[in-house]
Structures are given as structure tokens and as C-alpha cells.
Structure 1
């Protein structure tokens, strides 16, 4: 539980610090909201705006001036979310002046990648901000209305339209032609800061599918909530629901994927003198989550994780993070010593094959592979296995996707069985075939069907044969 935190709030394009007033009222004493105007907007409209890094500089200076004495969080709506992600990367890179970041709240967030906006609409928005006053007001009204899933409270609507009209046109255009198109994927990488991601079900460009495909892969610890009947202006549309989500997030921040616990019988066997000390050390090392380096892009890692959930489903509350382990293996250059000669080296083969699979998902269903349901994912994997995916200029040829998918399945099983939890799941007791003093601790003597050695406690309760 985070005690008495401060929530710094960054608004959407055309918004201002006033955007956060309804949410601040709902949060009440839970935490103190400090809403900031980004350069070119609200009370900072005299500034010309800038790129994402410049906006992050502006916010960082305000946070340092505020000097929070305890933990703090940062919330960003749309444009503000991309700035929040840039700040989180600074914190994780060791910025001494920004210590204490305890969480991110990303609302209909602009992702680290360029925003998925139709170019025609972008150019129309650039054009009307410099138009005559009557046209600007008409377009500002339409802009606010189009971005809400349902009509806003009349006072909120009027205040938001006025915020759009007082925005600095240079800042407005700088975001649409610059900041929104900046590619921060490489710089953001994967953040470990806990994050609450909320998307509006009626948000056309940055709704649930876009968040799953473009933002979530960059967050190692996240919770994703979808607000039904809601568009892009979440702090204005659903302040009460949003406050409840934030309170829950504060009480129990999302953790990394829970690793599976070893069954007591297997854990006891692993710790017994029947297991060679070198083997025991190796098994314990295999239980440790790799901390890098990694080589796959966040988008490829997300697609790989979704593939592995279909190829080798894991039951129970915890699971082995196969994607993380395979990514670390690819980066290390180790492996089983061979590959298909027709495929490029493993790191390139995985990146290109996963890109091919994701492109096929978008072409077929209009969504990234991780955002599809299980049946649609299975259908695409069946097409990959039979060489029926479409060809891409920089992808893997359809007939070679069959080779890659065969490699993936083998890698998944090898990685799963290398973990002690995988061995326990199949009831394997061979680790206890002899300890450091093998002569006094002989291995198996019983050779009859389902015959069990006295030292073999049952690992699997549901089967008669645990070997």
C-alpha cells in the first residue's frame, strides 16, 4: 500500500490542468492531485510547445519544484501518457531528481510508437487550428464531441472547448506533426514501474486493441481496464470509475508474472541428499528469472508471449515466463547448436517471423496478434504451421514459417522442461537418481510397472506412475 502519494496529472492534446478537476474531486483524500499544464496549453499557452523530450523536461522541472517527500505517481491522458512514459524511463535510468516514482496511470495513452492516426484527419486538424474564429470554435466543439463516448457534463464540455481554443496553434501543430509521430519504442524499452492502463471501449484510435498492441508490451507490470461506453477523454467521462480503479491500483499494484510454486514433494526431493549438489545448483539457477540482456522488440516479445500461451498453455496461478527466457536465450547466442539453413540466425528469424504473424493478424482481423481471442490466434498459427500466411517484404517466407513454427514449439517444450516446475508437472523424479555419494545412494532398483522406490514421494497425485 502506497502512503499519502502525490499524483501528477498530464492532459490530452488541447486540454489543460482543469481537465483533472472532476477526478481530483472524486479521489478526495486518497491522494493529492497536482495537475500540470503542458507547454502550449492552459496557462502555459504562451509557450510554443515542443517535442516529447522538451515536454518531459518541463514536467520534470515542475516535479522537482514540487519536491514530493513521499512516493508519487504520474497520470497521463493521451498526449500526456507519452510524456509520462518518457519520464518513467528517466526515473528507471537513475535520474536523481526524480526519485520516488511509484506508478503510472495511462489513460487512452499515446503509445511509445507513432500514433495510429489517419493522415487525412491529422492534416485536417492541423489546418483548422489556424482558421478564422468561427471555424475554430465549430471545429473545437466537434473535436470535443467526437472524442467523448457520450455527451459530457455541459460545464465540462464548455470548459474543454475553451481549453482547445486557447491552445497555442504552434504547440497544437507541433504535437500532431511531431510528438505524436515520434518513435520512442527503443528508448522506452520495457519499464518495470507498475502501471494502470485504462482504455475507452469507444475510442477509435487508442482504444483497447491499440493499448494491447502498442503500449502494454512496454510495461512489465501492468493492469489493463476497459471502460465501456467511454471514448478518449477518460478523466472527464468517468471520473468516479477512474478514481475507484486508481484506489485499487494504489492498494495492490500489479506485480510481475507470478512464477509457479514447486509441489512440496518435488521441493523436498530437490533439497535432499539424493540430488547431486551441482545439479541442485543448476536447477535453482533455472528457477531465477533472467534479467537480460534481451534482443526482441517489445512488440515481438508480446506476440511471442501470446503464441506461447497457445502452444503450451500453463494451468495454475503462476506460470513460467517462457517468452522472457527464450528472448534471453536468443540474446545470449546459445542454443542447441543447429538451425534450418534456410532461416536467418535465431534472433533475426524470431523477430521477422513474429512480425509476419502480427502483420497477418492485422490484415485478417484488424488487430495485433496479442489482442485477438484464442480461436483467432489458433487459426493464424495453423496457417503458419501449414505455410499459408501471406508474404511480407521483410518477413519470413510462408513456406519457411513452417520451419520457424516447428523451432518455436521445440523451444517452448525445452524451455518449460528446463524449469524444475516443468519437471514436477510431469512427475519426473530422475533428479534423485544419486547424490554426491552415489555409491551409498543408488538410483532406481524397482523395474516393475508403476513400482516406486521408497524415496519417491508421489509428485503427481492423479497418476499411478510418477516416473
Structure 2
């Protein structure tokens, strides 16, 4: 399987870091990671199938299909990768680690959950989103949902960037396939089988998936550390990129054996 997706890449040396965005976003969400981590690792951020600059899928995609597409991105560039997934991207990353464990050197799961299928109400709400997008259109849909993804104290410029990114990234049918993949997902039984060392992060003001969902992931994985990112909502990697990247680089120093002297002095 080839990865028929658009990616943004930065960095020429070091291990591969694959970045998987949330359900209402795109590779643009990882601008702070592409800019700040590229001196240490090769950063690849995708537009998931059916999102932003990636073509629409020819048939419906399941969570397994999204994970297989991510696996193809890795195989085209390396023998394995460290994988960062935010929200829905974290769910894909976790499934990738169970379906293709040989490809995952380590996991970083941010502001995510074991899937919306853990709760019937959450699953129904997730499935309803495709209809909302069809009714409202991408811009109005983004204006309604985007501000919820950051903390109340987030700068206006960040809120606008989040809304603009969502409006430019989501469309049908890709968003509907993504929403169904989340609605059907309940990864709780498979999390203990993941052997890759993992870092789980969550913004302290995340009201979308919430701290409890991230704690559940961290408490179930076999080899993990759990970090609360202060003054951040659901998009901690964008709202507090300095703190987020510092923890991520510390994780990579251990799991990828990046020499400590190569890291930023702020660490």
C-alpha cells in the first residue's frame, strides 16, 4: 500500500517523527513542531486521506485503513518512526502501534482518548458531525467548533488560526469517514498490548477529550509517562508549543538516544 497523501517535511537528519493531526485539522497544526524540532529529527506531518491537500478516498475508510495509510508514510521514508498523534491522530497512532508494532519506535499521544466508542452518547455525537458539516459548510462549521479547542485565555490570533485551518482542511466525505472511525473505536482492550515507550500529554484546560481520557490511556499503557501541559486547551501542541516541544524532545532524547548536548538549553 502506498501513502496517497500530502505531507509537510522538515529536517534532514536524525530519526523520523510522524505527526498525525486531529479530526478538524491538517498538517498546518504541526507548524511549531516542523519549525522547532527539525534540527533534531526528520519531521513529517500529514494531511490525512480526504483532508486539506490530500485526495479524497475512493471508498470509505476505517480506523484500520487510516492506520495502514500512516504505516505506508513511514515505510516510504524509513524502517520505523516515532509517532506523534493529537486527538483523533492519537487514536490512529495507538491503532498503528497495535497493527504495525515493528514500525513504531515510540508514541507521543496528546489530548486524545481510547475512542468515542467507549460511550454511546459520545459515539452518537461524533456520528452527527458529518451532518453538521454538510448543513453548515466548512467555514461556519469551523467557526462553531474551533474556539472550543483552545483555552479561554488563548490569544485571538491562535483562535483565528485554528478556525482558518479547520475551514481549509475539512470536507466530505473524508471528515465523515474520520468521524465514523472515531465513533466505532474503543481501544481500551488493546492498549495493554502496546510495547512502544509512550509519552501521554494533555492540556490542563482540555474540555474536549479531557484530562481523564488521557489519564486512562497513560494508566493502561505498559511503558509510559504522563504530563499535564499548563495553560493549554485541547490543542496543547499549538497553544503551548514551547512546553510541549520541551517534553517531546526529552522523550526523544531517551527513546531515540539523541545526544543531550544537541538539545535546546531550555531543556
Q: Does the pair score TM above 0.5?
A: yes
Which SS does the other structure have where 1:66 is aligned? coil
1:179 is matched with which residue?
182
1:129 is matched with which residue?
133
CA distance in 2, matches of 1:34, 1:153: 28
- Are residue 13 (structure 1) and residue 23 (structure 2) matched? yes
2:227 to 186, 211, 225: 225
Which SS does the other structure have where 2:106 is aligned? strand
2:5 is matched with which residue?
none
In the TM superposition, residue 72 of structure 1 has moved relative to its aligned partner by 2.4
- Are residue 64 (structure 1) and residue 75 (structure 2) matched? yes
CA distance in 2, matches of 1:170, 1:242: 32
CA distance in 2, matches of 1:153, 1:165: 18
Contact 2:158 2:239 in 1 (8 A): no
1:81 is matched with which residue?
90
The residue correspondences of 1:146-157 to structure 2 (distance < 5 A) are 146-149=148-151, 150-152=153-155, 154=157, 157=160
CA distance in 1, matches of 2:159, 2:55: 20
CA-to-aligned-CA distance 1:244-298 (integer Å, 9 cap, x gap): 0011112235xxxxxxxxxxxxxxxxxxxxxxxxxxxxxxxxxxxxxxxxxxxxx
In the TM superposition, residue 194 of structure 1 has moved relative to its aligned partner by 0.6
The residue correspondences of 1:28-427 to structure 2 (distance < 5 A) are 28-47=38-57, 50-68=61-79, 72-92=81-101, 95=102, 98=103, 101-111=104-114, 114=117, 118=122, 121-122=125-126, 125-133=129-137, 136-149=138-151, 150-152=153-155, 154=157, 157-158=160-161, 160-213=163-216, 215-253=217-255
When Rg is computed on C-alpha atoms for both structures, the one with the higher figure is 1
CA distance in 1, matches of 2:83, 2:145: 26
Consecutive unaligned residues of structure 2, counting only runs of 5 or more, are 1-12, 256-267
* Pair 243,164 (structure 1): closer, same or farther in 2 beyond 3 Å: same
Which SS does the other structure have where 1:81 is aligned? helix
| Superposition TM-score, scaled by structure 1 size | 0.47
Contact 2:17 2:41 in 1 (8 A): yes
In the TM superposition, residue 216 of structure 1 has moved relative to its aligned partner by 1.9
Contact 1:40 1:49 in 2 (8 A): no
* Pair 204,247 (structure 1): closer, same or farther in 2 beyond 3 Å: same
CA-to-aligned-CA distance 1:22-49 (integer Å, 9 cap, x gap): 1221224121211011111121252266
In the TM superposition, residue 179 of structure 1 has moved relative to its aligned partner by 2.8
Q: Which has the higher contact order (CA 8 A, sep 6+)?
A: 2
Q: How much is the aligned-residue C-alpha RMSD, in angstroms?
A: 2.6
| Superposition TM-score, scaled by structure 2 size | 0.79
CA-to-aligned-CA distance 1:81-138 (integer Å, 9 cap, x gap): 111111111333xx5xx3xx321010112315725564674465333200254xx423
Q: Which has the higher strand share?
A: 2
CA distance in 1, matches of 2:230, 2:132: 31
The residue correspondences of 1:446-465 to structure 2 (distance < 5 A) are none
Which SS does the other structure have where 1:126 is aligned? helix
In the TM superposition, residue 18 of structure 1 has moved relative to its aligned partner by 1.4
